[in-house]
Structures are given as structure tokens and as C-alpha cells.
Structure 1
């Protein structure tokens, strides 16, 4: 008996789930992978830093799955708008939400609506060419930027803001962002975090990159570092990361003199409000101390003068009409991936924005095991569903302009042809251009 599976979202979680379905049912499954955009791969395309091309290479694995006969990419279709969730449930044995967490978690601070204040989803989307954020147009004419957060996304943003044009060789940063960064006048990028070195979420490889920037140098206040012997209790990766921070603190001032940009780690600092008239001019922070792993305010405050703020404090999934959503956690309400009978969640849509790209693989295989259990137990009913054929009939009736994976390959070829010298591609940053490139 052929099983029909709909996966909403074509990023890592979506394609790992499709791969798991193939391994579970072989030729006896048909998988349709839906995406609002005409292009696949989700945050691999629009979230991973453009100068981290080796990480983006994982998409080749998903391409193997996508080009197989029983998996189909259905791009340019918005579930909940073009097609309802209820309609999908009537057509497929199971519907899996692999939509990731594409929206910024709000700061929740006074002044966050000032001009030149951005969340990382928007800012990263801007320099990665996401159609939703391509027109963001941040003002980089000031001297000082503040990046709020102590994870790898904050590091990505700080690094991108600090690089020279030559350092983007081989990357797929989009032209509009590259031109803006070339004209940037930033001299200080301050990374602000509520807690200290032992609580950072930055990984050693990404931290180590800061030591090799052509025009920028990192700074850590030695007073923020715990006693070296205290590092012994840390797990190896974090211990190595803290070792990088110690190296930053030890850089002599003579070496800093030749660098035009400073990346300053301001730890034990919790933002309390953003200040400005129309446009952000400062970030007021409260000095903290760490008690039992938590940041506790000391009452001491100060203001960091600033011209640009990027908040890298986390992400939220997109609610979809008819699907229970946990507003507090910013993800679909679920029990180990089960939302309601026939509805499932995987990846960030299931667990929130945690883990690496690879974390989504066991997550995808796990949700397929649960779907198999529910099918075997009869929990999903015994109705024979039409699957792909039924959706195609609905799409034709509604005149939906579906983009297939082979269409995407034509878009990809056009992006490669438009690339500047040394770059792998120049992304189309609006949907109409993508559709035209399909032919």
C-alpha cells in the first residue's frame, strides 16, 4: 500500500524527513515537500553565513533525495493560504511541519521600534538575499554597531560587518549587501551578552575565525574572565571557546593599532532599553553577575553609543491557521512531534531553534517512526487518500504556479551564470525573478 506524505518546509528538517520516509517505506511512499518560496533548502540558503560555503554543501545530500522518483519539491505554494491544512489532511496520510523558525524573537525592550534596529532573521536574510528582507537597507554610515547575543548567529553578524570586500571572495553574499558593506564606516562592533565566558553558546571554530580577519581584531576585558583553573569543569568544546576568549584578551595593543575595526565582547551586560529620537543612538545596559547560571542585575547601568543594533536572541516558528501553536515557546504545540492525529512537527518547528543542522536528521527519522506507529495502530484511520494526484487536481483548479525541483535547477543555473568572479552564485532576491528564470 502506497503511503502519501506531505512535508511543509524544504530545509534540512524537511529533507531529512523525506529521506527517512524513503528508508522506511522504499518505493511504497510518495512525498511532496512544500515551500512558500520557489527555491528549496530553507536556512541553508538564507540563514547560513555566505562565507561558510562548506556548510551550505550539505544541500547536495538533500538534492539526492529531491531528485528521486518518489519525492517531489512543490515550491511557490503557501500552506494555510493557497491550500489549507485541512485540505492537505484530506489528501495525505500524514502532514509534517518542517517550517523552521523564520521569525525573530522580539527584544521586548523600550525603543526596539527605533530605526536601524533589526532582528537577526531580518538582517541575515538581508545579506543572504531572502526575498522578504532584500529591501531592508540598513544604514551602515555610523561608527558603532551593537550585536545583542552570545551565540554563533551573533558571531556571524559581527564577522560579516567587519570583513573587507576581498574577504568575501568565494562567498555568495548578495550584491546589494556587499555594496553596502564596502561603503560601511563602522569602526566598533560590540557583542553584548547577559552572562559571562562560561555561559557563551559560541563554538570554537566560529570564534577562531575572528583571529584571522584582515581589518578587525577582537577584544575581551581580562577582568571578565574567570580564573584559568575554573575552565577545567567545562566540556571540551566550551573550554576551547573560552580559550579563544583568553587569547583575545591577551592581544597586545600594538597589534590592534593596525586594525580599523574592533570587535568588543561586552559580557555581564543586559540591555534594558534602546535610546534615540527616531533612530537608535544608544543601548542602555545593566551590569549583571551570574548566580546559579542565571544573569542577575546589579543595578549599575551605562549607555553604549550606537548607530546600528542587531538582536540575535532567538527565533520563532510561523503559526499556521488550524494548527495548535505554543506562543510562549514560539513553536507548534506537540508531544514528541505529534500535534494532532495526522499532523506532526519536526526540526525547529517541533523543538524550537536549538541544535545544529545535523540535529535534524535523527529528528526526521524519529517523526517517521511515530507516523509508522500511528499508521500501524489505525490512529490515522483507514481512508485511502489520493496524495499527489489529488493535490495536482486541486492546484490546477486554483491555477497555482508550482515550481518543481527541476525548475529550481534552472533557477540555480541562472544564478550561477550571474555570479561575480569567484562567487558560486548571485541569488535572485525577488520571487518574480526566480519564476522568470525557471522559463
Structure 2
């Protein structure tokens, strides 16, 4: 028997567990997660109105229900929880699939003003992440600025424009649904510092913005035309070409008479968030132009955009995990084909997969080959540590240490509680939004 701990139950963690049990019948896997709920960003990052993507939970469920896989939720690894060194005592090998846990910052004056948030904080709120804060995101907001032109930026822009009737069928927590339904936002600016051909959103996500009820969309053709590829996109790779074609179809159309308006802006670099009445009131941008090398340069021309809410969506970063080496420049753990490197040397028994391994790149499916590479390395190394004696069942040892994980039946109890909550509100499943209610539900016995 080879006992392996996988830290993180998102796609990278589940694909790692799946590869382990598929490739070696001796392996027993414990999937540990800080949260009492599995699935990581599939549960807490995918927008609630994207039901097809969220259905990936069914695939991940099949992994966690495998007879040689065990889900242990509510287990903190690192400071305040189970030390990394203790995990190495309890398991033959440990694979860290902890993702990229923080957002990149803009590094400009005013970024910490009230009303300025990372997009992830906003997503966590409407996704019922138990660590989320409800600080009145939409209170008094008429104009919002989303900085970034990737899929997360599109998600939060779309959610700001959605109405209660469209969101009620989702599993969004009731407080967020009520707040978004009562929102007085009339204008949403989604702003990129480069041009349309360099935007990172996918065409499918982009097109959704043009189908929102009672919401108009505006693209300034003169602004977009600063991008040479905008005028003639024929030479672009297919994904970028399709984006440009969609934007060209919208450009120049008169602003429709709609309740809300989305403005897609390009070649504007944020330089300062300015305060009004003690909170963010506007974003000051510098106009940019292409520099001929794939980047942009400032022109010295500035524009101010009113905003009582600013959401930055400019990427993610991994954070150090106590007891593991860390590459601060890349925000990753140094590795060789998934093997953790300490001082440049392989540390047998310690591995990484997912964003903490390769950085915040790729889509959900990218985690599958990434996990397989790491598992292949682990199984090749197994003769180095498989014969090491362990102190019995790791779960019993964790409980002896005062850790009481939420097992699979606890997670099923949470699911039942969320279904009951939805029914009581005249909706479908509604997520429990806080630690107290999640843990209380997990301790119940059955539906």
C-alpha cells in the first residue's frame, strides 16, 4: 500500500488523485482541503450562471467517491493547522495542488480606497466562499470599472449587469442575489491597457456580453483601431481573430436605450484611483499606444472615468506555503517534472501540480496533463519511499492531533442542507455562505 496526500480538491487535486488510482492499484489517496466543501474554483470561482462549466463537479465527484480516495475537508495545512513536516510523517508522499491564492495588484495610488477590490473578492462574495466579506459592494454604486480583459473580467462585468430574475435559478447565496437585484449600476466599463487583438477573454465569453437582457454594449471604433490587427485581423491566430471580429461587429453602433450599458475600452492604463467622499470616486487612466514589440507605451494624455466600484482582474499569484521552497519571482514552488526541488535537489516524496507548479496559466482541462506528469514522477520515485513505515491510518493520527476533518458524508450533509435552503426560498439549491452554517450542516447525519 502506498499512501499519498493530495492537498487541494480543485481540478488539479482531483485529476492528481484520479491519475494515482488509475496508474497504480496499490495507491490510497487522501484529498485534504482547507474548506469543508470540495471542487475548489469549480465551486467558488466559476460564475453561477455558467451551469455547463459548473457541471464539471459531477466528474470530480466521481474521483472523490472512488473506493481508494478519501475526502478530508476542513483541514488547514501550514500555520495554525497541520505542519508540512507532520504530513510527511503520515504519508509516503504529498502532492500540493494549492493553486494561486492571491491576486496581482495594480501598484498605483488609491488602490486600497474603500470601493476598490480584487475581482476575486467580488467573485468570492457572489459564490458564497466562507472567507468572503460582504462590505456593501454595490451600495451607492452607479458606475463600475473592471480593470482587465480576461474571462474573469468578463464574468464580473456580466454579473454586474444581470438581474435578479436571471440569477434566481442559480445557486448564488440569497444575500448576493438580493443585492445584485437591487443594484443601481447603470454603466460598467471594462478596460484593457492593450488592444482588442491582445485581450485574453475567449470568444464564447465575450459574445455573452452582447446577449444580456436590457443591457447595451458600446465599442469605440476609433479607440480600437489603434490596434493594427483590428483593421485587418486575417493574420491573427483563430481565437484572437474571432474576438476582433466580434468587437468589430459591435463597434460604432449607437448606444441602445437600455437599463445598463457596458463600455469595452482599450489602450487605457490605470495610474491612480481618486477619492470622493472617503471612497473611490474615479479612475485616472493614461492613454497608451502599441510600442511595436507587443507592449504599450504611455502618451501623456489622461482620462478620468467615474466609478464608485473598481474591480481589478489582472491575474493571480501563488503564495508561499510554510515548509516548502518558493520562487517569489514566478509565484511557484521550484520543481522538476512536479518533483519539489530543495536547494536545486529533488526532495523525494514531495510534489506539486496545478497553478502552484506552473503558474496561473491554462484552462481547467490543462490541469489533467499537468497532474499526470507529476503522478508519473511520483510513481517512478515510489521505490525510494514506499517501504517506509507509517504510523497507521493518517485519519486516526490527525484526529489524535485534534484535527476533525469533514468527510464525504459531511459534504453530502452540506449538499442536503443547501437543497433544503433553496426549497425554503422558492429556488433550487442555494449555497450556505459562511463557516458556521457549513460546519453545522456537516455535523448533521443525513438529509
TM-score (norm 1): 0.94
Where does residue 359 of structure 1 map in the other structure?
A: 366
1-side partners of 2:22 and 2:110: how far apart? 50
Where does residue 92 of structure 1 map in the other structure?
A: 91
What residue ranges of structure 1 are gaps of 5+ in the alignment?
none
Where does residue 385 of structure 1 map in the other structure?
A: 390
- What's the secondary structure of 2:240's corresponding residue? helix
| Cα gap change, 1:339 to 1:424, in 2 (>3 Å) | farther
Moved segments of 4+, more than 6 Å: none
1-side partners of 2:308 and 2:137: how far apart? 10
1-side partners of 2:61 and 2:138: how far apart? 37
2-side partners of 1:424 and 1:44: how far apart? 18
| Cα gap change, 1:228 to 1:124, in 2 (>3 Å) | closer
Provide Cα deviations, 1:187-220, integer angstroms capped at 9, x if missing partner.
1100111100110001011111111111212211
Provide Cα deviations, 1:108-167, integer angstroms capped at 9, x if missing partner.
111111001100111100110001114343134221100000100000000000111122
- Contact persistence 1:140–1:183 (CA under 8 A): no
Alignment map for 1:46-125 (pairs within 5 Å): 46-80=44-78, 81-125=80-124
Equivalent pairs, count: 430
Matched, 1:31 2:29: yes
Where does residue 240 of structure 1 map in the other structure?
A: 242
What residue ranges of structure 2 are gaps of 5+ in the alignment?
342-346
| Cα gap change, 1:250 to 1:345, in 2 (>3 Å) | same
- Contact persistence 1:12–1:357 (CA under 8 A): yes
- Contact persistence 1:144–1:307 (CA under 8 A): yes
- Contact persistence 2:32–2:72 (CA under 8 A): yes
| Cα gap change, 1:246 to 1:296, in 2 (>3 Å) | same
Where does residue 326 of structure 1 map in the other structure?
A: 327
1-side partners of 2:186 and 2:23: how far apart? 54
Q: 1:229 deviation in Å?
A: 5.7
Q: 1:23 deviation in Å?
A: 1.1
Where does residue 344 of structure 2 map in the other structure?
A: none
Q: 1:5 deviation in Å?
A: 0.7
Provide Cα deviations, 1:387-417, integer angstroms capped at 9, x if missing partner.
xx44223222222221011210111111012
State which of 425, 428, 431 in structure 1 corresponds to 2:435. 431
Q: Which moved more, 1:224-233 or 1:128-137?
A: 224-233
Provide Cα deviations, 1:76-135, integer angstroms capped at 9, x if missing partner.
110113211011112212111111123222221111110011001111001100011143
Where does residue 213 of structure 1 map in the other structure?
A: 212
Where does residue 197 of structure 2 map in the other structure?
A: 198
Q: 1:348 deviation in Å?
A: 1.1
TM-score (norm 2): 0.92
Provide Cα deviations, 1:169-192, integer angstroms capped at 9, x if missing partner.
422221111111112111110011
Q: 1:247 deviation in Å?
A: 1.8
